[in-house]
Copies of this chain bind each other. A is one copy, B any other.
């Protein structure tokens, strides 16, 4: 049974009538959606695309136990698990919905009573600084989080600006009130992840410092500057490093107490206060990718005063402003929560990655200044090229261009001469496969929305696609596919390269570079080389041209695919569905196979040991909980049965999205899962970014009014919309009936009116 949350009843008492009016949409944001099971979202506050994501951590789970990978760590990608009963503190950086993780920088925890510098255990929270909490004392809104820390009788409230996390702690009367700053806490923590940490006590209420970690990002540095609203009476730290930090002549001091420099591999600091009953202490904690000086500048510019509610309200207004770009009518309040929370989740990553003065850390570890753009980081491209970036192209074209300029800056700074694969915080983490940046760049150019130099972008794409040592590009170019013996993901990577190459070809075509077009359009046909017509599936092939003998197209592991089986991946030719249909034996066989995908039973054994595929994310063998098949429901449009797309899309939405903590069927993956929802709710989807075409589906909205950035509006109306009327009878674009189940980007880009006429039965004509 799904937990149905009506966030409206949780609205905090501080909301005035005026605010309610101004914030009429943000009440539909429920940050708890996806915090249970596999969503990997976090409940804490952030502003749109904000650098700071301040959120509670509910356990300290190491990445390794006795030298072995600890599967539990996967559950804590966002730090918070709705199922947990304790909170260890509030950290300032989180990814939204990833399936591998990092971050969790600068864990802050208020406590009262005897100082405890260890976090303690979930079973016995009193054994450390952590605290039990209950969801009945928890409020999560856009840019606001509140929780009662039961063990300390402290109420914690959190909010943010773009670069500053703001904590407001309401203490009991105590002569032993503490604020702990745990520099050791890490998401995906392991022995040696902390490279170095440093804290400087600038005065009795100001601290600065930094942390360098060696994790998913190999060389990641985050700087901070923080101010406390009340001077601390006492402070200090303890080192937990296995290798004692060199102290040398520092031994003449008591460096652990009231000594204003603290440094080491593994340290936890504390700041002590006397508090009156209900006394509030505010901590403003600014981040910078550049320096403590930059962090201090960010702090002073963005959060000058001590008015917590003012900062909270400013951030909420930012969300309201973003949401107001899309006014929707839907069938239920629950749908509206799903819808606006999907917008919320789509507008979190990538995040701004520069100081208020435009300075940022580049991939080359030098400090750069973003002069004609805002620099972004956290590019989960294997996921987000599919729907998130195309969505931002429509809803956030300025930011979308800045994101691409950030990717081009990454390219300029890359010693590999490559666009990002999966990058965060001035690091390439090389996660997943393909070179899907090229899809994002191509999509922007093909849709004519680029303010960046398309020629330079094409150069970057070509260089990326020709890197001599990246993940079998050399073999792929040599054989026309990646031989089975050279890669564990030879088939899926071949398929992804083929699609990416098609994107490059489209971009080349658009800017008239025939040479590049010819080269890459040829490469884009490589998918044919791994399709085994004898079984009708994509299948691993050796360098000698023979397909692998023992092969199970239902199996995800060890069969040549990444995070998906051949059944799902065999449909991954988004750029040439008609060719794929031919390969698979023509229209009827193709439809049959698609039908089967959604209806067949997948035995537990096929996903029992995988992190990214779960029963919840599956419909038959169709895996919506992970990305490779996200376009698949829309492939019926390329057959004679487009009404099946409509049916499947509405089914997927019902099955995979709800407004409770378990409301996402899989990782949100930096907003990709939410972006899929939003496109589908609007009634169309970009099957192959890099083309200017969207495939029509079945809208979920009753109406949507989208204010485009240039001022014009796009109005989408679903006449006769209901739970039952999932089929589309006809579609009018600006009053004119569409003849195919496709529209072009240009049809929407200048606004207009898109009308769906819904009915209960398939529109089989």
Contacts and interface: CB of A to CB of B under 8 A. Distances in A.
Task: Count the copies.
Answer: 2
Interface string A691-730: 0000000000000000000000000000000000000000
Given A210-B365, A253-B469, A430 B248 contact: yes
Given A260-B416, A469-B258, A198 B250 contact: no
Contact of A259 (B200, B219, B469): B469
A476 to B, nearest CB: 14
Given A248-B429, A430-B252, A469-B259, A364 B200 contact: yes
A130 interface: no
Nearest to A260: B415
A261 B429 contact: no
A497 to B, nearest CB: 14
B367 A250 contact: no
Interface in A165-216: 190-193, 195-196, 198, 200-202, 208, 210, 212, 214-216
Given A195-B196, A243-B191, A260-B415, A216 B248 contact: yes
Contacts of A265: 192, 195
A429 B243 contact: no
Contacts of A600: none
B291 A366 contact: yes
A469 B254 CA distance: 9
Given A291-B367, A292-B366, A429 B249 contact: yes
A429 B210 CA distance: 20
Contacts of A430: 248-250, 252-253
A263 interface: yes
Contacts of A279: none
A334 interface: no
A253 to B, nearest CB: 6
Could you say which interface size class chain A belongs to?
A: 35 or more
Given A415-B200, A416-B260, A243 B192 contact: yes
Contacts of A471: 252-253
A261 B430 CA distance: 13
A11 interface: no
Interface in A204-261: 208, 210, 212, 214-216, 218-219, 241, 243-246, 248-250, 252-254, 258-261
A76 to B, nearest CB: 17
Nearest to A192: B243
Nearest to A259: B469
Given A246-B192, A250-B430, A292-B365, A263 B415 contact: no
A150 to B, nearest CB: 36
B364 A292 contact: yes
A740 B471 CA distance: 83
A77 to B, nearest CB: 14
Among A193, A202, A364, residue most surrounded by chain B Cβ atoms (within 10 Å)? A364
Contact of A215 (B200, B246, B364): B246
A747 interface: no
Given A364-B200, A365-B292, A195 B195 contact: yes
A431 interface: yes
A293 interface: yes
A214 B415 contact: no
25 contacts: A191-B243, A195-B195, A195-B196, A196-B196, A196-B219, A198-B219, A200-B415, A214-B245, A214-B246, A215-B248, A216-B246, A218-B246, A218-B250, A218-B261, A219-B263, A248-B429, A248-B430, A249-B430, A249-B431, A249-B432, A253-B430, A258-B469, A261-B415, A291-B365, A367-B367
Q: Which 7 A-B pairs have the closest CB atoms?
A: A192-B243, A249-B430, A293-B366, A260-B415, A195-B196, A249-B431, A291-B366
Given A215-B246, A218-B261, A292-B366, 9 more contacts: A191-B243, A200-B415, A208-B364, A212-B212, A218-B246, A218-B248, A249-B430, A253-B469, A253-B470
